[in-house]
Amino acid sequence: MAMISPLEVGLMFWGEHQPERTLPAIKLIGMRCGHLGFAGHVELNFDIASKWRAVADAEDFGITAVFAAFQGESYADIPTVQQTVGFIPPATRELREKRSLEVIDAASAMGVPIFACHIGFVPDDHTHPDFVAVRDMVRRICDHALQYNIAFALETGQETAESLLHFIEAVERRNLKVNFDPANMIMYGTAEPIPALEKLATQLVSVHCKDGVWPDKTKPGTLGHEMPLGEGEVGMDRFVATLKKIGYTGPLTIEREVSLDQDMDDRHKEGISHLDDIRSAIRLLNSLRETA
Ligand code: MG
């Protein structure tokens, strides 16, 4: 595995079966680490994972986390997210648990220490059947990951820091951690991200550098939208300064998604897009690494 410097800039990208094309393409843009996501339709097994590892080693590229998205997820608006994303929809729970274990097995074969995904809108009420079912599911996934010393990082955004901390406490697994995505907190209209980041500091294992704007208050249920890094309402200088203050030394992984009104599979097919935005995000983050 490549040696990654503190706060090195990386990229969140989606993989299929061509690491020998994907990883050199990311290096050409100027990065040598990133989070590798697998959409739900992508076949994964030991041989495919071993190929990713071999190409990453040959390219001196650090895959620092593996993300799972699931078939049938849609981020069209908040009610649709509630009904389709993560572990909340009961009909897909069993399938998504099986897929999570598969992705963790792949992460282990790649030598990657973090597995992450959105688990969806978890209710605050600890006696709610969805809370209990998702808590138990996350326990089983954490236990599977722990045998490889892999952390399960919850992607933030759909709940407040307090709710997330209560959920983590209830799960009672030491390898349950947080991937902090400041733009999600804004786009879901959840809360100001910087105070949330401070509250989640002890659980933090990775971050997404993404920017966005708050939802339109006159249209309930809609999401805010993503913006090029530095042009949204996160305040990237405060974000990076806060990461330094809390002692975070992992990579700064840029996530630049396409519009949120397509379903996940379509979004992932587009591959690396917004190249100019990514290039200017690299410049911004590299300057904040020095100055913020
Ligand atoms: Mg994210």
Residue 273's pLDDT is 53
107 Cβ neighbours under 8 A, 6+ residues apart: 49, 66, 113, 114, 115, 148, 150
Residues 263, 265: Cα–Cα separation, whole Å: 6
Residue from 179, 186, 13, 158 nearest 87 by CA? 158
Return the CATH fold of 9-291.
TIM Barrel (3.20.20)
- Say what the pLDDT of residue 260 is: 34
Query: Please, which pLDDT band fits residue 269 given cuts at 50, 70 and 90?
Result: very low
* Cα of 124 from ligand 1 centre, angstroms: 22
Residue 54 CB contacts under 8 Å (≥ 6 apart), including other chains = none
Tell me, in angstroms, the distance from the centre of ligand 1 to residue 210's CA.
Answer: 7
CA 226 to centroid of ligand 1, rounded, Å: 11
Query: What spatial distance separates the first Cα and last Cα of the chain, rounded to whole Å?
Result: 29
Q: Which residues place a Cβ less than 5 A from the ion ligand 1?
A: 181, 208, 255
Tell me what pLDDT residue 271 has.
Answer: 46
Which sign does the torsion angle of CA 281, 282, 287, 290 carry?
Answer: positive
**pLDDT, mean of residues 260-284:** 65
CA of 32 from ligand 1 middle (Å) equals 19
Average of per-residue pLDDT values in the chain: 93
Structure tokens given for 26: 């990311």
CA–centroid distance, 174 to ligand 1, in Å, is 22
Q: What is the pLDDT of residues 186-213, one digit of tens each?
A: 999 999 999 999 999 999 999 999 999 9
158: Cα within 13 Å, side-chain hemisphere = 24
211: nearest Cα among 252, 177, 246: 252
- pTM to 2 decimal places: 0.93
CA 146 to ligand 1 centroid distance, Å: 23
pLDDT band at 272 (very low <50, low <70, confident <90, very high): very low
What confidence score (pLDDT) does residue 267 get?
Answer: 45
Q: What is the pLDDT of residues 106-128, one digit of tens each?
A: 999 999 999 999 999 999 999 99
* b/e code 168-205 from CB counts within 10 Å (16+ = b): bebbebebbbbbbbbbbbbbbbbbebeebbeebbebbb
Task: Tell me how far the alpha carbon of residue 116 lies from the centroid of ligand 1, in angstroms.
Answer: 10
